[in-house]
């Protein structure tokens, strides 16, 4: 039997058909790839982590912390017998919450001074008329879960120490001191430095403007 031979025009038709198949395959695949690229771009266009690369970091300006007024600070419970509150700025008790983003950090140092005594700092704070935050605010920050406000202050206002001149404490021996919170390594700790000691700019007092 003679072998079948396609007509001469068949080879040209077959070549064109192969080209058409390749064109259709390429178009469909490029359309798919284009769709993937489009979705990829859309995702990253709205992704917060992606946008953060192009956005200027903004510092938060508000941080409200509520003060528990149901229990008053008792120095004898906190320290032991014969400790007492020598004096206090009663005005801060009027606040159920403190906006630590708006509070003022007062060092009370004058130009050319690198330090003053705690008693002198107290006198200058009183003269300014600003509202001094005291023991109740100290306890609220210290007892807050995760100490979130202190961490917020450290991250947003570069605060690593606070001295609470709103409550002046007196020991059984008559020494006067105030609560402080300061950063020690990776943790916040509290202390109670004497007012007759040296105070530097690293220990600002948190105060509220008396508007």
pLDDT of residue 61: 79
Count of helix runs (H) and strand runs (E) in the chain: 6, 11
Interval 16-52: pLDDT, tens = 556 556 555 555 555 555 554 554 455 444 444 444 4
Q: For residues 23 and 31, give the distance between their C-alpha atoms in angstroms, rounded to a whole number.
A: 12
Alpha helices in the chain (DSSP H): 8-46, 48-54, 75-78, 118-128, 135-143, 148-157
pLDDT of residue 29: 55
Q: Give yes or no for residue 194 having a pLDDT over 90.
A: yes
Q: Whole-angstrom Cα distance, residue 1 to residue 34? A: 53
Q: What mean pLDDT is predicted for residues 98-104?
A: 93
Confidence category of residue 62, pLDDT binned at 50, 70, 90: confident
What pLDDT is stored for residue 17 in this prediction? 53
pLDDT of residue 44: 45
In the chain, % of residues over pLDDT 70: 72
Residue 147 has pLDDT above 90, yes or no: yes
Q: Which residue has the tokens 């605060």?
A: 159
Query: Taking residues 51-71, what's their average pLDDT?
Result: 66
Helix (H) or strand (E) holding 163: strand 161-170
User: What φ, ψ does residue 116 adopt, rounded to 5°?
Assistant: -145, 170
**Average pLDDT of the chain to the nearest whole number:** 82
Amino acid 68: pLDDT: 82
The answer to whether residue 82 scores a pLDDT higher than 60 is yes
pLDDT in tens, 153-174: 999 999 999 999 999 999 999 9
Q: What is the pTM of this model?
A: 0.71
Q: State how far the Cα of 2 lies from the Cα of 77, in Å rounded to an integer.
A: 116
């Amino acid at each position: 039997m003679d072998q079948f031979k396609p007509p001469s025009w068949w080879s040209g038709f077959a070549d064109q058909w192969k080209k058409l198949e390749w064109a259709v395959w390429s178009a469909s695949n490029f359309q798919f790839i284009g769709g993937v690229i489009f979705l990829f771009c859309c995702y990253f266009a709205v992704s917060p982590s992606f946008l953060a690369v192009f956005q200027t970091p903004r510092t938060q300006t508000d941080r409200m912390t509520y003060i528990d007024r149901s229990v008053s600070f008792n120095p004898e419970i906190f320290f032991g017998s014969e400790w007492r509150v020598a004096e206090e700025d009663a005005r801060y008790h009027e606040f159920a919450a403190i906006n630590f983003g708006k509070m003022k950090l007062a060092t009370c140092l004058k130009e050319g001074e690198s330090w003053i005594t705690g008693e002198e700092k107290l006198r200058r704070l009183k003269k300014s008329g600003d509202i001094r935050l005291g023991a109740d605010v100290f306890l609220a920050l210290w007892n807050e879960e995760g100490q979130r406000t202190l961490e917020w202050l450290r991250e947003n206002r570069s605060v690593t120490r606070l001295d609470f001149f709103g409550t002046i404490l007196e020991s059984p021996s008559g020494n006067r001191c105030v609560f402080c919170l300061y950063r020690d390594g990776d943790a916040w700790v509290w202390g109670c430095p004497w007012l007759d000691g040296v105070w530097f700019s690293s220990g600002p007092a948190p105060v509220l403007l008396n508007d």
